[in-house]
Chain A
Amino acid sequence: MSISVTGVSRRFGNTTALHPLSLEIAKGEMVGLLGPSGSGKTTLLRIIAGLETPNSGSIHFGDRDVTHVHVRKRRVGFVFQHYALFRHMSVFENVAFGLRARPSSERLSNAEIHDRVHHLLERVRLEALAKRLPAQLSGGQQQRVALARALAVEPEVLLLDEPFGALDAKVRLELRRWLRHLHEEFNFTSVFVTHDQEEALELSDRVVVMSNGRIEQIDTPQTLYRAPANRFVFSFLGETNRFAGEYREGRLHRDQAWIQLDKAGAPTSEVLLRPHELILTTAPDARAHLPVTVDAVSPVGSDVRIELTADWMDTPWLASITHHDFDRLRPERGGAFFVIPARWHQFAPENA
């Protein structure tokens, strides 16, 4: 089922959690709401679910206006940040809850409920634990119970609030993949909230980046990463190195350091660079003169991460170079190098 959010806003006392915003989510799409804490992403999710009432605007599921429809009747699946499993009920009863809560005219027989729950528990690989209490499960298992519980009522919309936030990295990766599969199999429309850019970019068909109660950009992960709409989106999506200085004749100067910018480009006082866009060399060239000192080296992972310092920086830079380059250059702590930017990004100044 498609979801339309139109002109929705929300205030809590004197603070505005959401400025009026609109959002269209297609049927079967998986959309991530990404933003730092306090950006309004959870409030938006809760408004879609009906757990929170907007001060203005409307919510439609397909053609149906659900703005004033009670949560109980919206038929959404909601997975809570800390799972919110019913602590005194067994795993089986947790999953069966939604089926037992149905009005008597629609209620399934006990045998049907039993079959449905066991089928779901099989899907989430928790059949053996059906009789356990939530407190006896690990975090990942609890999260799977929470998902099974939400899916038991066959919702057409699945909403997830920081679904993997409290889990360790390995379990998180596994559950992400698994959620993706479930999404494809059950074909529901899902919206999830996260502050983890990697998670948002990996899972979503489209990502909604939010800050301060506003939508900054809505795009596919690729477009978002390649063409961020503004400085906020750029810096939120990954590690950012900043060069600020004075613009003179196509060059940006700061003390002895400078970067040659496009002659055709607009003058700017700041450029931003990703760690992988930095080339480490032993000599400057016509593109830039950026002397740096190696402060720390971390050769773990697919790239070598190198922390760089210099007088002309406000905060240390981070460069990631290939192991091949690393073997060639052999940078060590305290070593002096030059940085050549392969690419850089410049944005209109923020006046928010």
Chain B
Amino acid sequence: MKRIGDGTGTRLGLITLAVILTTLFLVIPLAGIFYQAFAEGLAPFWQNLTSNFTREAIGLTLLIALMTVPVNLIFGIFLAWLVTRFTFPGRRILQTLIDIPFAVSPVVAGLLYLLLYGRTGWLGSILSEQDVQLMFAWPGMVLVTIFVTCPFVARELIPLMQAQGSAEEEAGVTLGASGWMLFRRITLPNIRWALVYGVILTNARAIGEFGAVSVVSGSIRGETINLPLQVELLYQDYNTVGAFTSAALLAALAIVTLMIKALLEWHTHRREKTA
């Protein structure tokens, strides 16, 4: 049977358009990154990859991700639980507030943190009396990354937990299960795939975050430069191969993340089919 708009011409036209756009905007730039990274051969690439600064940038990037993901994982579960399992005044406002980090430009978020926690800032002046420095140091970078990525896990969980409802948990509690047992044996297994998905997204964003981090980093080489900042720094130093080496590394991480995500989606899909 023929559907509306299903002419050979329309179909071919749309497919061609999609292929051209994908090639122009996705495939060529991505290939370009790897091409530039290897433009002067394998040796300069390897040299840049193993330089101290790059190694430290990788280390910092991983540190930020490693601290951000668990914090937002726990925060996201609590938030989703609160919003979907309880009714209280201000619940809808809270649900809107969750999206603020998405709505606000990361640079603005960075600036806010700088104003608040900087040496002369409102909270920062108190902290600096205690000899604690957050801004222009890695803890500040972790803080803003947590802010920017905090909606991902909650956003994945809320619609799912709303759809599933609380009947299974109620059934569990009538059977005598404790709060922890309810969470571990009923809630967690029901949301685990959404949770993994949220973690992947949080992780991807934590690794790639540039805007907010660049405001609070202070660009101290070997100390507060993560991979995205390293790309910009090297590029401005006219070290094209170096910049693209780091960029290629980020792109590779992104591709790996997407592959894990696709694998998970395929897995869930198959599970739903057999269930």
A residues sitting closer than 8 Å to B (CB atoms) are 49-51, 71-78, 80, 82, 84-88, 97-98, 101-102, 133, 135-136, 149-150, 152-153
CB distance from B184 to the nearest CB of A (A): 11
Are B170 and A86 touching (Cβ within 8 A)?
no
Known contacts being A80-B167, A136-B275, is A88 close to B175, with CB within 8 Å?
A: no
Please give me the residue from chain A that is nearest to B168 by CB atom.
A84
Does B162 sit within 8 A of A, measured CB to CB? no
Are A87 and B173 touching (Cβ within 8 A)?
no
Partner among A72, A80, A87, A133 whose Cβ is within 8 Å of the Cβ of B176: A72
CB distance from A136 to the nearest CB of B (A): 7
Which chain B residues lie closer than 8 Å to A102 at the CB level? 176
CB distance from A77 to the nearest CB of B (A): 7
Which chain B residues lie closer than 8 Å to A152 at the CB level? 175
Please give me the residue from chain A that is nearest to B172 by CB atom.
A97
Which chain B residues lie closer than 8 Å to A86 at the CB level? 168, 171-172, 185-186
Known contacts being A86-B186, A87-B190, A88-B189, is A51 close to B170, with CB within 8 Å?
A: yes
Chain A to chain B: the 10 pairs with minimum beta-carbon distance, closest first? A98-B175, A84-B167, A78-B174, A84-B171, A101-B177, A101-B176, A88-B189, A135-B275, A71-B173, A84-B168
Does B120 sit within 8 A of A, measured CB to CB? no
Known contacts being A88-B190, A136-B275, is A97 close to B177, with CB within 8 Å?
A: yes
Are A72 and B177 touching (Cβ within 8 A)?
yes
Main secondary structure of the interface of B (DSSP, over half): helix
Are B170 and A84 touching (Cβ within 8 A)?
yes
Which chain A residues lie closer than 8 Å to B189 at the CB level? 88
Give Cα A266 to B177, complex, Å. Answer: 59
Q: List 17 extra interface pairs beyond A72-B176, A101-B178, A153-B175, CB under 8 A.
A: A49-B174, A51-B170, A51-B173, A71-B170, A73-B176, A78-B170, A84-B167, A84-B171, A86-B168, A97-B172, A97-B175, A98-B175, A98-B176, A101-B177, A136-B275, A149-B175, A152-B175
Please give me the residue from chain B that is nearest to A74 by CB atom.
B174
Which chain A residues lie closer than 8 Å to B170 at the CB level? 51, 71, 78, 80, 84
Are B172 and A87 touching (Cβ within 8 A)?
no
Which chain B residues lie closer than 8 Å to A98 at the CB level? 175-176
Does B26 sit within 8 A of A, measured CB to CB? no
Are B171 and A80 touching (Cβ within 8 A)?
yes
Instruction: Among A77, A82, A97, A135, find the residue whose CB has the most chain B CB atoms closer than 10 A.
Output: A97
Which chain B residues lie closer than 8 Å to A135 at the CB level? 275
Which chain A residues lie closer than 8 Å to B172 at the CB level? 86, 97, 101
Q: List 19 A-B contacts (CB under 8 A).
A: A49-B174, A50-B174, A72-B173, A72-B177, A72-B178, A74-B174, A77-B174, A78-B171, A84-B167, A85-B168, A86-B185, A87-B190, A88-B189, A97-B172, A97-B177, A101-B172, A102-B176, A133-B275, A153-B175
Which chain A residues lie closer than 8 Å to B177 at the CB level? 72, 97, 101
Which chain A residues lie closer than 8 Å to B185 at the CB level? 86, 97
Give Cα A86 to B174, complex, Å. Answer: 13
CB distance from B158 to the nearest CB of A (A): 19
Which chain A residues lie closer than 8 Å to B100 at the CB level? none
Please give me the residue from chain A that is nearest to B181 by CB atom.
A101
Are A87 and B174 touching (Cβ within 8 A)?
no
Are A87 and B168 touching (Cβ within 8 A)?
yes
Give Cα A135 to B173, complex, Å. Answer: 22
Please give me the residue from chain A that is nearest to B275 by CB atom.
A135
Are A51 and B174 touching (Cβ within 8 A)?
yes
CB distance from A3 to the nearest CB of B (A): 15
Give Cα A77 to B181, complex, Å. Answer: 18
Are B167 and A101 touching (Cβ within 8 A)?
no
Which chain A residues lie closer than 8 Å to B171 at the CB level? 78, 80, 84-86, 149
Give Cα A78 to B173, complex, Å. Answer: 10
From residue 167 to 203 of chain B, which have CB atoms closer than 8 A to chain A? 167-168, 170-178, 181, 185-186, 189-190
